[in-house]
Structure 1
Amino acid sequence: MNTSIPVLPSHTEVAVVGAGPTGLALAVTLASAGIDFVLVDKQAEGANTSRAAVVHARTLEVLDELGASRELISRGVRLTRFTVRDGARRLMTVPFDRLPTPHPYTLMVPQYETEAVLLDRLRALGGDVHRPFEVSRVTQDDTGATLTMTSGETLRAHYVVGADGMHSAVREASGIGFSGGSYAESFVLADVVMDWAPGPEEVSLTFGPAGLLVVAPLPGGRYRIVATADHAPENPDLPFVQRLLDERAPGQGAITGLVWSSRFRLQHRVADHYRAGRLFLAGDAAHVHSPAGGQGMNTGIQDGYALGRAFASDTLDGYEAQRRPVAERVVAFADRMTRIATTRNTTARRLRNVALRLLGHTGFRTKLATELAELDYR
């Protein structure tokens, strides 16, 4: 396998920093349009974990356009419902199978598979990723911008795109603010092998006095667990994750293997602007939020596609107006979901549960499914 390109070009039209799903989607779009670009990433190939695992309908529509959807779908698990519970009691089922899209489902697939499929597509178009090159400095002037790497190389570009995550070097160089805040709770993320009573046919969101629990099936008989936790270790072990399950879904799950785990804190932020001169932002460099709804990677891939189209059609001035309102809406939606799900107030929990049971018999379910699938963001 080709794992790196050791020589960094000195000039390009568009320099893309960060080869996660956002940067790869942008690069594929640029390659398809015949625009010269250089994509750099500080990590060696494959130095990632599963992280995001949900691909929604609108993103699959974008991947249709990029020629990457069929292969990704073949690697994932298609689910048509999202079930909300309080303990073992079902409050609401959110159906995806009636949505007006060629992809009326949610695709569960590890992020490394999404990245692998996009990278294969990029290579089929003649592109690749330059690794490992970490950007230490970005400067711009009237005619372009210069990237300086920690290893000393420089890259001159007409434009630079920061798809380099929450701690973006490009955003820092741009001077663009990153407004928002953080949540008090820590979150535990784990991929496990287990016997799970609700089964592999749905994403399960479970409320309870001890905290939030999300369980979603992954390919290969694995499950993704996301849970709030006040005092989680940096790398939660199997007994710790099992205790979370036992507290929040007693008798529902028995873990037999821990594949990977992590602890993280959440923030909710949106960049004040998506452009500063010749510097652009996309993906987590432009917006971060709770994993509630699984929309982070989806919004980023759509950013990359939209920005690539803007380069191809010479409509760069419209990129921020098109994509920043989407990020504001996604961040606000995820924030509402998180606060509703994690409330510790007894009265608020009772009211929430009653409201969800009532709304489960109305058109609200379809509206929620449409919002989660991001179909209103076309």
Structure 2
Amino acid sequence: MIRRALESIPTYVPGSAGDGSRPTLKLSSNESVRGPLPSVAAAAAHAVAAANRYPDMAATGVRTALAQWLSETSSLPLSVGNIAVGAGSSALIQQAIQATCDDGDEVIYAWRSFEAYPILTRVAGATPVEIPLDRNYRHDLRAMAAAVTDRTRLIIVCNPNNPTGTTVTRTELADFLDMVPDDVQVLLDEAYFEYVRNSSSPDGLSLLAMHPNLAVARTFSKAYGLAGVRLGYLVGRPEFIEAVNKVCIPFSVNAVAEAMGEACIAAGAELRARTDETVDQRGRLLDALPEDLQVPSQANFVWLPLGARASEFADRLAEAGVVTRCFAGDGVRITVTDAAETEALLTALERARVADFAQV
């Protein structure tokens, strides 16, 4: 028999590529417009040649590389025991829920935030507790802390938040962590960390030493251009990482992903420099929007808070040749890429008459 609880769980909806009836610019999935560097592609080809063999189930190579790299960049004494890897950060978030929650235990997160959170929570048999964003589309951390009960096992903070692109400050996050009981695990989802340029926004790794109940999730899917091979990582105390690893699917990180991840770390400076162009185009897009639709973003996307008119606007943009991610009744998220695609997007915004959607 199929679990009855699954009947109420929505299916995750990926960003659309359009219906195929016309050429479209896909700005719906927060992907990098650039492919892997030659050195990273070469590492993948080498791994493919040995695809008849199982990968290292512990992914020791990429975990070791991550521990060394993050130790150097964060001044933390990290080891392999502090690092878990998975098929994207989404898989690690699901493992974190499974590692902390029994049936009926509570997971707190902001809403609207990453649409996978309620799905992953319910799949694990846990109960989602959704805390509305504040009027500036930011996490209401005080309300999230106040929502903790004796059933709370995990709190997820998405920073920058997907889909709004907003961030909390380091001080706000540190104060929040002080309010959370030590026996409640906090997971900071930093999937878009590499696009942050606001100096007041936190680097989650810098808070790990003071808060043992904190873990930080990041990914190679966005800034590093590996969305198609699925590789994310989680940094935390060894006891939590061990629990997360216990619930992973064996060999969930394939050999190609591991090899490409190691190569990305080796070429890190060159890859991270690519984010500068995206940040420049993010500013260009925000400046082109009506003032009341300008939500400050620190991610590789921009949020248009259109409420009930979100679907209408997304349809207009699609007719103009640009596919975006519509959250009906809330807003539209538009991925930011490079100068050429931004130029096409700005033309489409004019054709869709974005000014019509400004509040009067």
Q: What is the TM-score with the length of structure 2 in the denominator? A: 0.25
Structure in which a larger fraction of residues adopt strand: 1
Q: What is the TM-score with the length of structure 1 in the denominator? A: 0.24
Structure in which a larger fraction of residues adopt helix: 2
